[in-house]
Structure 1
């Protein structure tokens, strides 16, 4: 039943949701193992994956506004400690959503402020496979790299993959090709799309975090928002930066736990 629901939602999601059907977006990724990405969650509708997200604290999830802006909290669930969308994983848990909070300035047309918070109906219990991730500003020199994981399609135009996959992403990209009305560098992060990048985020990857290791600690520096295809010659991907939303995070969701 889990697999059937996943396929049905994959086919119809671009028709019945607000996620644009022309923004095909992990290609050429490698499969993740248990505990690799304890902060990543799957956002689901009717048991089917539509987007990714990450754990902010014991009650809040961060995701893309485009993924959830036309839903009621009762329609959404988040799945923790999940690797496979087909089979149940150890420690996998499904939580109901109590509240959806979109950033007030979110613009669906341009993708500006493409960020949302989901409050869970019950607290998240942390473990080796379930944990929050702190956030920070990206280090964006061309020598820097990040990591991205999600359940997105493995090729342009495909359905979401059934297994969590990850890719390495380079920084220093230029997203000017999107135009000034689509790329706002103060609030958006441009990454990937170079000749050395092994792949790109793809459809159903929206909302998943772009992560960078800084001084030995992993930080969420961006949230996958949009790109122009996910093939080998695709343009860089645009992510919503996390740090500009510090005051909003604290106001709505409170502080994050102290890293151990």
Structure 2
């Protein structure tokens, strides 16, 4: 859904951004290409009342990992996880949520922090060629490393969602460059990825989705300013920084 979180005029005056540059929560794939679910079998869809809202990642038979800003306001009875398909809102198997665990430190000021959540499913995922759990990374890739993110979000800023699963490759930024892009908004639980000059990014509809390097989950799509803009990279919740929390609550 890459929902818009409209931050107050005061916040933007403090941090030097224009009021026309709202944070955008949950991403969409821009500048990407179609893939089969077999190329990203960990990819899941977070659905609310039968409609796709965000992305997610399969991390075990019983749990999917997503973003807290996707799930923080949702009743567990209304949430389900769809896996095993590269088509938006069709195919694969749908699993009702039995528990939602949002990070207890999640907050949105001055930017989304500890933006991670776990969704436990009532009926376990059946692992196969199109449904696989992805291991959690314990260290972030070095700056400049190529990483891949995927989802069904819109393909242009303010555009429509994709009917087919898309993937795009971007590069990890150094934490210093990330902080220069978003002064006073980046914490140790976040990092940035993008490409020089913009043009490739996540945006509306992909929040909570995976960022992958070397077959491991390194990030969760979280926020950014606009989509695929130059000097405004995507910001991801750091899986290595939050892996202990995931293990504590999900055992993986």
Shared fold per TM-score greater than 0.5: yes
How much has 1:54 moved relative to structure 2?
Answer: 0.3
Residues 119-167 of structure 1, C-alpha deviations (whole Å, 9 max, x = no match)? 001111100000100011221222x101110111100011221111000
How much has 1:246 moved relative to structure 2?
Answer: 2.4
Say which structure, 1 or 2, has more relative contact order (CA 8 Å, 6+ apart).
2
Q: Is the 8 A contact 1:228 1:234 kept in 2?
A: no
Residue 234 to residue 202, structure 1, CA distance change in 2 (3 Å):
farther
Give yes or no for the alignment of 1:238 onto 2:235. Answer: yes
Q: TM-score by structure 2 length?
A: 0.85
> What is aligned with 2:119?
118
Alignment of 1:121-160 (within 5 A): 121-136=122-137, 137-142=139-144, 144-160=145-161
Residues 212-254 of structure 1, C-alpha deviations (whole Å, 9 max, x = no match)? 01xxxx0000001001111453611110001122222122111
**3-state DSSP of counterpart to 1:201:** coil
How much has 1:47 moved relative to structure 2?
Answer: 1.8
Q: Is the 8 A contact 2:199 2:228 kept in 1?
A: no
**In 2, Cα distance between equivalents of 1:34 and 1:209:** 13
Give yes or no for the alignment of 1:93 onto 2:93. Answer: yes
Q: Is the 8 A contact 1:167 1:198 kept in 2?
A: no
> What is aligned with 2:12?
none
The CA RMSD measured in Å over matched residues stands at 1.8
Question: Which segment is superposed worse, 57-66 or 104-113?
Answer: 104-113
Structure 1 runs (4+) deviating above 6 angstroms are none
- 5+ residue gaps, structure 1, are 1-9, 256-260
> What is aligned with 2:10?
none
Residues 39-82 of structure 1, C-alpha deviations (whole Å, 9 max, x = no match)? 01000112211110101111111000000100111011110012
Give yes or no for the alignment of 1:192 onto 2:177. Answer: no
Alignment of 1:152-231 (within 5 A): 152-173=153-174, 174-176=177-179, 177-180=181-184, 182-184=185-187, 186-195=188-197, 199-213=200-214, 218-231=215-228
Q: TM-score by structure 1 length?
A: 0.83
Alignment of 1:243-254 (within 5 A): 243-254=240-251
> What is aligned with 1:60?
63
What is the number of residues matched between the two proteins? 229
Residue 189 to residue 232, structure 1, CA distance change in 2 (3 Å):
closer
- 5+ residue gaps, structure 2, are 7-21
**In 2, Cα distance between equivalents of 1:121 and 1:160:** 28
**In 1, Cα distance between equivalents of 2:47 and 2:231:** 27
Q: Is the 8 A contact 2:199 2:230 kept in 1?
A: no
> What is aligned with 2:105?
105
**In 2, Cα distance between equivalents of 1:159 and 1:198:** 17
**In 2, Cα distance between equivalents of 1:98 and 1:30:** 34
